[in-house]
């Protein structure tokens, strides 16, 4: 099942979910502002990235203020940071067991059965 980590105030999240719906793609959506990231979710995502920065908002003030070496945090430490600061997580994040798409990226959405030309 495709999972979408999003924020209701995020225009790219809204566009992505609309595109999934228009393509009749089933997905589960999680609001990062109100639902804490689960250990299993983070574990799945970490298997799909080469570098944790791929899912973080590296240009955000909170990323720079915390000045952590995110790549050297244990999964438990990283989970605690992401639960405390959900705005560190780039949005939307779509993933299943084999694919990951961060942000609104029509080309990468094709891996989830989405055709961007339906707009």
Question: Is residue 75 in a domain?
Answer: yes
Question: Is residue 87 in a domain?
Answer: yes
Q: For strand 100-102 and strand 27-31, is the pairing parallel, antiparallel, or unpaired? A: unpaired
What does R_g of the chain's alpha carbons equal in angstroms?
Answer: 14
* Cα 43–chain centre separation: 13
pLDDT, tens only, 83-116 = 999 999 999 999 999 999 999 988 899 999 888 7
Q: How many domains are contained in the chain?
A: 1
Task: Name the residue range of residue 76's domain.
Answer: 2-111
pLDDT, tens only, 20-62 = 999 999 999 999 999 989 999 999 999 999 999 999 999 999 9
Question: Is residue 119 in a domain?
Answer: no
> In whole angstroms, what is the distance from residue 73 CA to residue 52 CA?
10
Say how many residues make up the chain: 119
Question: Is residue 89 in a domain?
Answer: yes
Question: Is residue 33 in a domain?
Answer: yes
Q: Assign residue 23 the CATH number of its domain.
A: 3.40.30.10
């Amino acid at each position: 099942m495709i999972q979408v980590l999003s924020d209701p105030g995020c225009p790219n999240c809204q566009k992505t979910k609309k595109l999934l719906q228009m393509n009749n793609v089933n997905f589960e959506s999680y609001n990062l502002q109100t639902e804490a990231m689960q250990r299993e979710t983070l574990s799945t995502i970490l298997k799909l990235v080469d570098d944790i920065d791929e899912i973080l908002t590296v240009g955000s003030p909170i990323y720079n203020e915390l000045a952590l070496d995110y790549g050297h945090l244990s999964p438990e430490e990283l989970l605690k940071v992401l639960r405390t600061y959900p705005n560190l997580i780039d949005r939307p994040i779509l993933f299943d067991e084999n694919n990951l798409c961060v942000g609104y990226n029509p080309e990468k959405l094709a891996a989830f059965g989405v055709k961007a030309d339906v707009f």
